[in-house]
Each structure stands twice: as C-alpha cells, then as structure tokens.
C-alpha cells in the first residue's frame, strides 16, 4: 500500500466515523430509562433528596438559533421516591403533591437563549397542583461522541414549594421543611423518529 493510498483510506475512515456521530441539533425524545429527574430539599435542617422515575417529553434544539428550540416535559407524580416510605406517602397526600387529583407536573418552555458561559437558559411555565409559575431551567448540552452518540441535557430549576401550595396546614412552617427546592435533570435525548424539523414541536 502506498503512502497516498494509506492517507485516502484513513481519511475515509475518519469521515465515516464522524458521520456516525449524532447531531446535537434536531428533534429529540427524552429517554427515561437513561435519564433522571431529582429534587433536593431540607427537613428540620437536614438535607434530603428524592426522584421521579416516570416522565417523558420532547426537546427541540438548535444551537445556532436557540430561540427556535423548545422543551415540553411531563412528570408523573405517583413515581416519587425519597427512599422513605412514610415520607413518600405524605408527599403523595392532599397536604403535599395530592397525586390523586393532580397526577402530573409539566414544564413548557417559552424561550431558550444561550449564556456567555456556553450554557442555555429556558424560560417557561412549570405547572404543579394546577398552579402555573414562571421558572428558569439552566442547562448545558453534553455533545455526542463516537462512544456516546446521543446528546445529553444536564440542568436545574430552583423553585419555592409554597408558590405551588405544596405543603399545607402545619407544613406551611418552613422551619419544618424548607421552602426552597432544587430540581435537577439529567436527560438522555434520543432522535425522534418523526424527523429532525426545528420548526415543528
């Protein structure tokens, strides 16, 4: 094999490898089995965390024009888990998340913009217990690689539980449970089979 042939073959191999890497731009579905939605709070001065295991959503990304993107996601409240059965039962009850009546929480973005630090901010509406508040989702994108060919979205939302009437009666007292809650997301994105249109939600 001549040196020129070797260079040509190597170039074709490299191009083929790069062609297999998924783009971070396009229309994606959230893959719940490879993702996580967690939350953190404080109970009587001691931090605790929990998670939701049942969620899905659609994400449209355009890194060159982030304002054309969107994020729509739904979490099913009954899937909450704090590794404490008594606390989980309490959270699902009427004083807290009231999952028997309000079975889902949703996030719908209104705008997405890039930050100077290389991340993104999605401003949108979070609806919980039929109460809707404006929130900000700060996130970064973990670009695809030959080993991990799907992009990943990692971010967080800070909320106050009392804004959504979460924790009524004696639980309104923030000396028992903090008002501030941090929601963390780590979402594996899978290209949607319906195509990669950046204009269609």
Q: What is the pLDDT of residues 186-197, one digit of tens each?
A: 999 999 976 443
**CB of 39 within 8 A of CB of 183?**
yes
Structure tokens at 178: 């903090």
3-state secondary structure of 13: helix
CA–CA distance, 24 with 152 (Å, rounded to integer): 9
What does DSSP assign to residue 177? B
Q: Is 155 exposed, middle or buried (0-12, 13-18, 19+ CB in 10 A)?
A: buried
Structure confidence by residue, pLDDT tens digits, 85-107: 999 999 999 999 999 999 999 99
> What is the pLDDT at residue 198?
37
Please check whether residue 48 is in contact with residue 9, taking contact to mean a CB–CB distance below 8 angstroms: no
Unique residue bearing structure tokens 């996130």: 139
Mean pLDDT of the chain: 86
Q: Which domains does the chain have, with CATH numbers?
A: 24-191 (2.40.128.110)
pTM: 0.83
Alpha carbon distances (Å) from 111 to 44, 121, 135, 167: 37, 8, 11, 30
Radius of gyration for the chain, computed over Cα atoms and rounded to the nearest angstrom: 21
């Amino acid at each position: 094999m001549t040196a020129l042939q070797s260079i040509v073959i190597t170039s074709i191999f490299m191009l083929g490898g790069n062609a297999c890497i998924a783009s971070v731009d396009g229309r994606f579905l959230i893959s719940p089995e490879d993702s996580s939605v967690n939350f953190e709070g404080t109970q009587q001065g001691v931090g605790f965390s929990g998670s939701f295991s049942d969620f899905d959503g659609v994400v449209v990304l355009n890194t060159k024009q982030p304002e054309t993107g969107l994020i729509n996601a739904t979490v099913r409240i009954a899937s909450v888990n704090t590794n404490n059965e008594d606390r989980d039962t309490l959270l699902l009850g009427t004083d807290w998340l009231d999952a028997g009546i309000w079975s889902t929480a949703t996030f719908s973005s209104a705008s997405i913009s890039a930050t100077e630090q290389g991340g993104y901010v999605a401003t949108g509406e979070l609806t919980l217990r039929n109460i809707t508040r404006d929130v900000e989702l700060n996130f970064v994108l973990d670009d695809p690689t030959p080993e991990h060919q799907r992009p990943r979205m990692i971010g967080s939302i800070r909320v106050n539980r009392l804004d959504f009437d979460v924790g009524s009666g004696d639980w309104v007292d923030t000396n028992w449970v903090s008002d501030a809650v941090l929601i963390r997301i780590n979402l594996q994105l899978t290209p949607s089979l319906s195509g990669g249109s950046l204009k269609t939600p």
